Structure 1
Amino acid sequence: MTVALLMASPALAQDQGQQGMDHSQMNHAEMMQPTAANPYAPSEMKMHEQMMAAAGADAGETWIRKMIEHHRGAVDMSQIALTNTENVDVRREAQKTIDSQNREIATLNAMLRGMGKQEQ
C-alpha cells in the first residue's frame, strides 16, 4: 500500500494499523492567524516550508541544511516572544535561545564550508 493512499484515506490508514489524526476537518487558514496568545503560526509555517525545501547532495548535507532552518525558526519565534511579552523569565530564555541558536547556525554553516559547500 502506498503512502499516498494511506494519506488520502485516514480510515484506511487506521485499518492498516497506522496511527494518526484525520486532519481533513481542520481549518488551517484559521490556525495560521496570529493571536495575542499565539503569535507564532506564520513563523512556524515559514520554518516548516524552509525545512521541507532544504536539500543537499547527501543525507548529511541535507540534515545540516534542514537543521539550519530549524534553528532559524527558533530564532524567529524567540524574537516574536521578545516583542510580545514583558515576562522577564520568558524574555531571558528567549534571548538565550537566540544567542545559542545563532551559534548553532554558525557551526552548521562552518560544516558546510568544510565540505566545500555554499553556506545557507
Structure 2
Amino acid sequence: MSHTLVVRPLSALVVILAGSALLAAPVMAGEEEAQAQERIQQVESGEAEAQGDDGEVEASDDDVLESDEQPAHHGNDNGHDHEHAMHDEDEHADNEAVQAYREVNRRMHEDMSIDFTGDADADFARGMIPHHQGAIDMANVVLVHGEDDAIRDLAREIIEAQEEEIAFLRDWLVQHGYETN
C-alpha cells in the first residue's frame, strides 16, 4: 500500500502564510525599531535649533511626526480634542473631586519625572514610588468624594497595597545605596 500525501490547497496556504509571518516578525520588529531610532535621532538633532533662550525645548507634534503620520487621538476623534479638553476643564471647574484628581495627576507626573541613573532597577523603583503615591492619592479622593461602597472598598485595598510596595521600594533603594525622598 502506498500512502499518498493529500494537501488541501487552503490548509497549505494557511501553513505557508503562518510560517512566513513567524519568519518575518523579527525582521519587521527590527525595521520598526530602526525607524523609531531614526525618528529619535531626527528629533535630537533638531533640539539645538528648537531650544529657546531658557534652554527649554520648543517642539510641536509636527517636529516629531513624519508627514504621512497622524497624531494619536484620545477621546472623541473629531479633531477637536484640545478644545474638548478645555471645555471639560471649564465644565468641571466647580467639581471638587475633578479638581482633586487633576492636582493628583499633575503632582504624580511631575514627581515621576526623575533624573535617571542608568540602573534599570533603581530607575524603576524611583519612578514607581511617585506612581504608587499617585494611586494612593487618587484612592483618597474617592474616599472623600465617592459614594459607591465597592469602589471605596477597592480604594482602601489600593491604599494598603501601594503603601506596602512603596515601603519595599524605599527599603530596596536604601539597601542598594540610593537616596529616597
| TM-score interval, normalised by the smaller of the two chains | 0.7 to 0.9
- C-alpha change, 1:34 and 1:112, in structure 2 (3 Å) is farther
Query: Are the aligned partners of 1:78 and 1:94 in contact in 2 as well (CA < 8 Å)?
Result: yes
Instruction: Deviation per CA, 1:51-106: give whole Å up to 9, x if none.
Output: 01x23422332221110000000000000100001211111000000000001101
Q: Does 1:17 align with 2:76?
A: no
Distance of 1:9 and 1:117 partners within structure 2: 36
Query: Residue in 2 aligned with 1:30?
Result: 89
Shift of 1:16: 4.5
Distance of 1:14 and 1:33 partners within structure 2: 37
Shift of 1:113: 1.2
- C-alpha change, 1:11 and 1:27, in structure 2 (3 Å) is farther
Query: Residue in 1 aligned with 2:25?
Result: none
Query: Residue in 2 aligned with 1:79?
Result: 140
Please, which moves more after superposition, 40-49 or 59-68? 59-68
Distance of 1:86 and 1:12 partners within structure 2: 43
Structure scoring higher RCO (CA < 8 A, sep ≥ 6) equals 1
Distance of 1:30 and 1:81 partners within structure 2: 19
Q: Does 1:63 align with 2:63?
A: no
Distance of 1:97 and 1:28 partners within structure 2: 31
- C-alpha change, 1:2 and 1:108, in structure 2 (3 Å) is same
Quote the sequence identity (%). Answer: 26
Shift of 1:34: 6.7
What's the RMSD between the two structures over aligned residues? 3.2
TM-score of the superposition, structure 2-length normalised? Answer: 0.54
Distance of 1:62 and 1:34 partners within structure 2: 38
Query: Residue in 1 aligned with 2:159?
Result: 98
Query: Are the aligned partners of 2:97 and 2:141 in contact in 1 as well (CA < 8 Å)?
Result: no
Q: Does 1:50 align with 2:111?
A: yes
Distance of 2:178 and 2:64 partners within structure 1: 43
Query: Are the aligned partners of 1:34 and 1:41 in contact in 2 as well (CA < 8 Å)?
Result: no
Distance of 1:61 and 1:18 partners within structure 2: 35
Query: Residue in 1 aligned with 2:60?
Result: 8
Instruction: Give SS of 2:164's match.
Output: helix
Query: Are the aligned partners of 1:14 and 1:20 in contact in 2 as well (CA < 8 Å)?
Result: no
Instruction: Name stretches of at least 5 consecutive residues in structure 1 with no aligned partner.
Output: none
Query: Are the aligned partners of 1:113 and 1:119 in contact in 2 as well (CA < 8 Å)?
Result: yes
